[in-house]
A and B are shown apart, each in its own frame.
Chain A
Amino acid sequence: METLAVLVVFLPLLGAILSSVLDHRSSQAVTCGLMALAAIFASILFVKVGLQEKTLLIPLFTWIHVEFFEVSWGLQVDSLSLVMMAVLTLISFLVHVYSVGYMKGDRSIPRFMAYLSLFTFFMLTLVTAPNFLQMFFGWEGVGLCSYLLIGYWYDRESANAAAMKAFLVNRVGDIGFVLGVLTIFVLFGTVDFLSVFELVEDYKDETFTFFGGHYHALTLATLFFFVGAMGKSAQIGLHTWLPDAMEAPTPVSALIHAATMVTAGVFLVVRISPLLEYAPLAREFITLIGAVTALMAATIACVQNDIKRIIAYSTCSQLGYMFMAAGLSGYSASMLHLTTHAFFKALLFLSAGSVIHAMSDEYNIQKMGGIWKYVPLTYVLMWIGSLALAGIPFFSGFYSKDMILEVDWVSNLPVGKVAFVFGISAAVLTAFYAWRLLLLTFQGAPRADEAVMSHIHESPLIMLIPLMVLGAGSLFSGYVLYDLFVGESTSFWGTALFVLPENEVIGAAHHVETWVKWSPILATLVGIGLAYYLYVFAKSWPERLSIAFSTVYTFLLRKWCFDEIYDWIFVRPSLKLAKVLWKEGDQKMIDGLGPNGVAALSVAGGRLLCRFQTGYVYHYAFAMIIGLVLMIGCYFWL
């Protein structure tokens, strides 16, 4: 089993390395093959280890060893990481296969495949990390791959800008992560998960004192980690990079910016559940942020026109749901939603990719419409994805979203009820924008020009097969995993998750009032109905509404003006400051006095010394005599 786990992690790395030396066809074959193997191994592991409720701890080798401080590379395979591994390798494999079709004709396919595989490797090291430091390694690694993939079409200026933005915004989060690791280290003297989690009970009342205030250590640490998670999982405030990241090729958006990497933040929060349990303040904060993000992103998604951006905001919003549940100790509900979301969001993205592909690279849904006849399979799959997303009963999203909302309701944290209200409102909007997308894209009269319409075609089979697999996942994953993950008597999670008895919500969530159980479905139906009303029966209304509430509309269209505010607060002042520091500080002061000044001085010194080298032999002899006299004089003097 150990070998299998090691293989799962390192096969993608092997693929990445190999494909960097292969040509495009063999690199596709190699990376897909290795990913398939990794996916198979991961599912074997899931069955053999995960379902047996075992935990594997595989040490690889020592990384840092400084006196009492030791960090090793290793793999920690428990049910939590196994869920991630299984989902990750499966979706990554599907995306690899899909990319073969989608990226056809691109110039540097081996590079693309290598990035994808490399990303998978980093993500796997992240989820299997036995300590915070290795997790940080994976964390940074996926950030790097994300940067590389967003900027994959490096000749597009917007892609470069988006890549840079993603990287920089993530840096803000990463600082939080690093501070979190440091806090943990200062508090516990170790960064190993197991040791830290064992010790946490003893340290639950520790406080740090600085600037005259006392701060609860665990709250501080978990909040730092959450800042990291916010960056990676695009929560409000640090979410601005995610929509821009849609500059990446669509398979990348599906894999990294929907199914896996962005859920790393959720994974982190779930991973540190033993710490969170003792930090209720942090949990409230997490819930609040999650709830606000869920609603905020959903409102923005309602007015966007770029097909991928809509789905991106939807991702943001769904991540908000996950944090909502995690903050209220419903870690397993969060994980369930993470899993189902991975399937249906990947499906949505890849279907959107299929649509874009069919529409000759058209992203604007206002210029689509009426194409369902031409791409029937994609249409059906998109429906499945949307149904799952909206949470129609028996589709996967239904189980997980319901669970989250029920957790919200039963939580004993005061913020739980707020989260419930936000969640229900977001659910209405979710259904609305999902159907708005569906209706505008596929139905009604065609709004694209003739040339585009004449080229519409269903995607090749190699793209459709992964879609169908994901469709199946979106249909059944919720039903299959519901009992395992959040069933009343499940012991699947074992020690991987930790919930204090007084915070227990999952059990209680199964016994809520009937109206609570029904309200999400009701909300969804309202949203769908609204969408149908506005975009099928009263087509002029959207226009009139946007004019009537133009302030609100613009506000939403501008994505709550986050970019503008950031630009005004951070970007411009820092650019100005940087310019001053660069021109005045670096070029004039440091370069002028430092490197350039010293260099000029050296050259001048060299020139001076060369002037002594006159070429006259009597000068040379004279120099020797002077040297002698000086040496003798030196002796007398000393």
Chain B
Amino acid sequence: MGGAYLPDLTLVLPEGILVVTAFLILMTGVFRKSTNPQVQQRFGHVALSGLIVALGALIFYHHPAERWISFEGQLLQDDFVYLGKILILSGSAAVVGISLASMLKEHLLSFEYCALILLATVGMLLMVGANDFLSLFMGLEIQSLSLYVLVALKRDQTIASEAALKYFVLGALATCFYLYGASLMYGFSGSTNFEAIATIIRMESAGNFPLSLFMSLIFIMASFSFKISAVPFHMWTPDVYQGSPTPITAFIAATPKIAAMLVFLRLMLEPFMTLYDEWQSLVAFLSLFSMVLGAFAALRQTDLKRLLAYSAIGQMGYMLLGVVAGTDEGIQAVLIYLTLYLVMIIGTFACLLCLRGKGSYGVQNIEDLAGISTLHPKVSFALAIFMFSLAGIPPLGGFFAKLYIFKAALSAGFFGLAIAGALASVVAAYYYLKIVKVMYFDDAPKVPSASYGQIVVLPLKMALILNACALVTLLFFVFPNPILEIVQRAAFTFSG
């Protein structure tokens, strides 16, 4: 216990860079006048460059095909974690890029926003890099707390405060589930380390697992189902999506979902892989309910963000379908889906964020998009691409994401589930296409509402990100290899 002890700090270099940037922003922010929009935007740029530098550091120091462990086994980095961190960092960077202009318009951009985004990103990085229930808990909490505060940022608005409160209370409940599950696990195994737990579970004779082990598994699954908003732990999602300011909704929709999904995947496939026969039916139910609810409940939504919330629930259901398969193919499918989901959702929100009504309101309802195809043909074309892709229409990226998932599910023998998923995607196509229909075939209102998207605010950064997302979605079927390769390597960490 004594003696010189210094963990390998390069592993947390990206996290360190982000924390330092966040501190920098906090320190300067306190002393600078926060009313000046230019100063605020500069904070945004600092945060953006911090994220990009962190991404660079991550890529520079990564050892491919190696299990890099530090902090006495509490953190690790392999190709899977690497992919996750890349997604999270680039996702956060993209969200910062698309949200700055809109945050400014809504008088919401403050230095705390940038700092909190950075800290939340740190939390997510810790989550996906965690190799221990304790470090996972820390990451989870950093991330969730930052998100609670972000949601409450528009504190003068009832709907935002309400959303934040709900998110907080329910999130606390989910955290309780997690803690309860983790302590049961500790009680069972005497360790919090994933590898140690995996070994101990493996040593138990199959079919004779103690009940407490399942209790722990179920509690932990429940808490992560909350994070990825799988049914029936999804109830917070529509309210929080709707209540938060749109840029923050974009953030919540994009990266925390990815982080939680990756952790879920890692937990199921590493410590709990031996229990596959036990958890697969549970995850199958989660997946089924999520797909069905995501498809049906969104049918009657008029609020765009609520609609996207249900859409996210559905999409998570599809990803869980890949987890259920549990095969190498399934893991790859989930990772491809995650990547494309990130791209599509950021693109979608970029479109929504750049459309504004008179009086600096962002678009809110589906009707606010009526006939904008004539006003802003490019933006509506991009949005149509994302909607088609989310609906899973070939040859766009979203179609292939679903295709891989269904293929994996079918080859693992989950025929019923795959068919249900396909049917649900048919129903879900309705509301995605409805948005396209409203944009292209409905007439613009004679007296536009305050949030009718007649103005486009599209700074260079946002345009770049929007175009990049649209291109990836459009051209995935032509050049799928870059994504496929990295995904294959990531999936190899489990099977190899």
Contacts and interface: CB of A to CB of B under 8 A. Distances in A.
A606 B232 contact: no
A313 B218 CA distance: 84
B297 A624 contact: no
Interface string A615-638: 101011101101110111011001
A602 B296 contact: yes
Contacts of A599: 430
A631 B170 contact: no
A634 to B, nearest CB: 6
B434 to A, nearest CB: 12
B232 A603 contact: no
B183 to A, nearest CB: 16
Interface in B214-265: 214-215, 218-219, 221-222, 225-226, 231-233, 235-236, 238-239
B430 A602 contact: yes
A624 B172 CA distance: 12
Contacts of A613: 235, 238-239, 297
B229 to A, nearest CB: 11
10 contacts: A599-B430, A602-B295, A602-B299, A603-B300, A605-B296, A606-B296, A607-B300, A627-B222, A628-B222, A632-B218
B24 interface: no
A628 B296 CA distance: 23
Contacts of B221: 631
A565 interface: no
Contact of A610 (B166, B169, B297, B430): B297
Contact of A628 (B177, B235, B301): B177
A602 B427 contact: yes
A556 B297 CA distance: 68
The 9 closest A-B pairs by CB, nearest first: A606-B299, A627-B232, A620-B235, A609-B297, A605-B296, A606-B296, A606-B300, A617-B166, A631-B218
B53 interface: no
Contacts of A638: 281
A541 to B, nearest CB: 66
Nearest to A634: B282
Interface of B: 165-166, 169-170, 173-174, 177, 214-215, 218-219, 221-222, 225-226, 231-233, 235-236, 238-239, 278, 281-282, 285, 293, 295-301, 427, 430
Given A606-B297, A632-B218, A634-B281, 17 more contacts: A602-B299, A603-B299, A603-B300, A609-B293, A610-B300, A613-B235, A620-B166, A624-B226, A624-B233, A627-B225, A627-B231, A628-B218, A628-B219, A628-B222, A630-B232, A632-B215, A635-B278
B50 to A, nearest CB: 35
A609 to B, nearest CB: 4
A632 B298 CA distance: 28
B238 A626 contact: no
A615 to B, nearest CB: 7
Instruction: Classify the secondary structure of A's interface with B.
Output: helix
Instruction: Classify the secondary structure of B's interface with A.
Output: helix
Nearest to B215: A632
Contacts of B278: 635
A624 B232 contact: yes
Contacts of A631: 218, 221-222, 282
Interface of A: 599, 602-603, 605-607, 609-610, 612-613, 615, 617, 619-621, 623-624, 626-628, 630-632, 634-635, 638
Task: From A623, A626, A631, A638, name the one whose CB has the most chain B CB atoms within 10 angstroms.
Answer: A631
A594 to B, nearest CB: 13
Contacts of A620: 166, 170, 235-236
Task: From B173, B219, B278, name the one whose CB has the most chain A CB atoms within 10 angstroms.
Answer: B173
A635 B235 contact: no
B238 A621 contact: no
Nearest to A625: B173
Given A609-B293, A627-B222, A619 B235 contact: yes
A602 B429 CA distance: 12
Contacts of A607: 300
Contacts of B169: 617, 621
A627 B297 contact: no
A616 to B, nearest CB: 9
Contact of A606 (B170, B222, B231, B298): B298
Nearest to B279: A635
A217 B296 CA distance: 56
B282 A621 contact: no
A632 B300 CA distance: 32
Contact of A617 (B170, B295, B299): B170
A634 B285 contact: yes
B218 A623 contact: no
Contacts of A603: 299-300
Task: From B231, B299, B301, name the one whose CB has the most chain A CB atoms within 10 angstroms.
Answer: B299
A635 B297 CA distance: 27
A609 B427 CA distance: 14
B164 to A, nearest CB: 11
A624 B299 contact: no
B217 to A, nearest CB: 9
B180 to A, nearest CB: 10
Task: From B222, B238, B278, name the one whose CB has the most chain A CB atoms within 10 angstroms.
Answer: B222
A181 to B, nearest CB: 31
A621 B299 contact: no
Task: From B174, B231, B235, B297, name the one whose CB has the most chain A CB atoms within 10 angstroms.
Answer: B235
B218 A635 contact: yes
Nearest to B221: A631
Contacts of B222: 624, 627-628, 631
Contacts of A632: 214-215, 218
Contacts of A615: 239
Nearest to A624: B233
A623 B282 contact: no
B89 to A, nearest CB: 31
A628 B298 CA distance: 24
A27 B212 CA distance: 82
A624 B170 contact: yes
Contacts of A605: 296, 299
B300 A621 contact: no
B219 A609 contact: no
A623 B297 contact: no
A624 B173 contact: yes
Nearest to A638: B281
Contacts of B281: 634, 638
A397 B174 CA distance: 95
B172 to A, nearest CB: 10
A624 B174 contact: yes
A620 B238 CA distance: 11
Nearest to B277: A638
A609 B296 contact: yes
A617 B166 CA distance: 6
Nearest to A631: B218
Contacts of B282: 631, 634-635
B260 to A, nearest CB: 15
A133 to B, nearest CB: 28
Contacts of A630: 232
